[in-house]
A and B are shown apart, each in its own frame.
Chain A
Amino acid sequence: MAFTRTYTEAELLTGLRQYNNAAFHYLYENYRGALYNVILQLIPDKEIASDVLQEVFITIWKQIDKYDETKGKLFTWMLRLTRNGAINKLRSKIYKSQAKNESLDNYVTVIEKNQPEPATVNLIGLRRQVHQLREDYKNVIELSYYNGFTQEEIANALNIPLGTVKTRLRNALMELRKQFV
């Protein structure tokens, strides 16, 4: 695939909103690698991950009219859809029957017993950086970003105050951000 034309973000958005095929092809070409990488961090199985990638791009197509650029960049929005798509897949019955169940209970048991975490994950990219964080920071990021649990659910499961979850999550993300640069 070779695309000769490039788009500014505004041009791209106009094309997407008109359901222009070339714009969607460009979007796919440009972002598939980054988004696929995000999915692989949650779902290491390449086949399932590429199914999720397809679902994500279909969702982008269907929801592009709901995207509001005053609330965030296109990439941020797509990243959210991608993570949601991967987490929905992780929680789906089909995935659970195929892969090891990474439920909250499962994870908490692991944390409590101080065992190595579920070894389904071949750590890549950001997730490897997450695993270099201190233990309590790593746990909240794992549970929230990679497993999709809400702050309340994490507080209940780990039996710590919601305020503590908030602080750990924020500090952990700021710590990660330092490593970006």
Chain B
Amino acid sequence: MDIKEYISSGIIETYVMGLCTPAEEQEMEQLRLRYPELDTAVITFEEEMEKNLMQQSTLPGDATDKRILTALNEMGKSAAPVIPVQYPKRNWLNPFAVAASVLLLLSAGLNFYLYRQTKKLPVISNNNTLPPGDYEVLKNPAITPVAMYGVGTHIICRCTMFWDKKTGKMYLMIHHLPQSSAARDYQMWATVDGKPVNIGIVQDDIRGRFIELNNVPPGATAFSVTLEKAGGTTTPTIAETYLEGKI
């Protein structure tokens, strides 16, 4: 690789401004580690940009300053840890489990209008983390990784699904997804026959871990993660799609 040519190609500017494709970003992150001159060139542009933008300042006004500083103070007071919600492990391939799921779905459908406020969606939580030794299953040749990429402005988001073709089991690893606010939850969806099917609400603390998904519907051809109101929803908000991937 001609690193000088790469440095002067405009990729540095594109990368620092956050306008790269995920593939370009990944390449840049790897190359920076290998070529110190590239790393220096990136930092130089970051400094230049900071200096330039710091000179173009508009103050938002005293009222806004006061409001935001108060909000930041409040954040300091109300920092509370997220507690993962328990969700029992289920194997959806088991015919009884499938039958039970169908019954549950039917019942959920019937109850939905009556108990709209209290309905709880399944949660993808830490409870489903694979024990360290079980990571071996991921080396199984039957496992196909399905990369999910950030959509639109969320290009820095990344996660991978691992699909075991033999057993039909699915595993998830979230590499990067911004923390959701208290009022919002990420929700994962499968696409079956072109229609979205809920997989579950993504708990904040499962990042960087292998999670076994118990709730993936058979026949899924694609997956996505959307940001929804806290507690999830029954139909995805497409405009709030953070991650997408196809099998």
* Chain A positions near chain B (C-beta within 8 angstroms): 1, 19, 21, 24-25, 28, 31-34, 36-38, 40, 46, 49-50, 53-54, 57-59, 61-63, 66, 71-73, 75-76, 79-80, 83-84, 87-88, 91, 93, 124-126, 144-145, 148-153, 166, 169-171, 173-174, 176-177, 180-181
Bound state CA distance, A33 and B153, in angstroms? 23
Task: List 18 A-B residue pairs with CB atoms under 8 Å apart, sorted by A's residue number.
Answer: A28-B69, A32-B59, A32-B65, A36-B58, A54-B67, A66-B179, A73-B43, A76-B50, A84-B154, A124-B58, A125-B56, A126-B52, A126-B56, A169-B19, A170-B10, A170-B14, A173-B13, A177-B48
Known: A40-B58, A54-B67, A177-B48. A169 touches B154 (CB 8 A): no
Partner of A169, one of B10, B47, B71, B179: B10
A-binding segment of B73-81, B110-118, B158-166: B73-81
A-facing mask of B210-242, CB < 8 A → 1, else 0? 000000000000000000000000000001000
Partner of A76, one of B16, B59, B152: B16
B11 in contact (CB, < 8 A): yes
- In the assembled complex, how far is the CB of residue A171 from the closest CB belonging to chain B, in whole angstroms? 6
Partner of A145, one of B19, B54, B79: B19
Contact A63 B46 (CB under 8 A): no
Bound state CA distance, A93 and B181, in angstroms? 18
- In the assembled complex, how far is the CB of residue A7 from the closest CB belonging to chain B, in whole angstroms? 15
- In the assembled complex, how far is the CB of residue A31 from the closest CB belonging to chain B, in whole angstroms? 8
Partner of B10, one of A62, A79, A124, A173: A173
Q: How many A-B residue pairs have CB under 8 A?
A: 150
B29 in contact (CB, < 8 A): yes
Bound state CA distance, A148 and B152, in angstroms? 6
Known: A76-B46, A152-B21, A173-B14. A50 touches B60 (CB 8 A): yes
- In the assembled complex, how far is the CB of residue B24 from the closest CB belonging to chain A, in whole angstroms? 8
* Chain B positions near chain A (C-beta within 8 angstroms): 9-11, 13-14, 16-19, 21, 29, 42-43, 45-54, 56-61, 64-65, 67-69, 71-73, 75-76, 79, 151-156, 178-179, 181, 239
Partner of A61, one of B21, B58, B59, B72: B72
Contact B48 A180 (CB under 8 A): yes
Contact A36 B50 (CB under 8 A): no
Bound state CA distance, A36 and B151, in angstroms? 25
Known: A25-B69, A169-B10. A34 touches B53 (CB 8 A): yes
Bound state CA distance, A38 and B239, in angstroms? 23
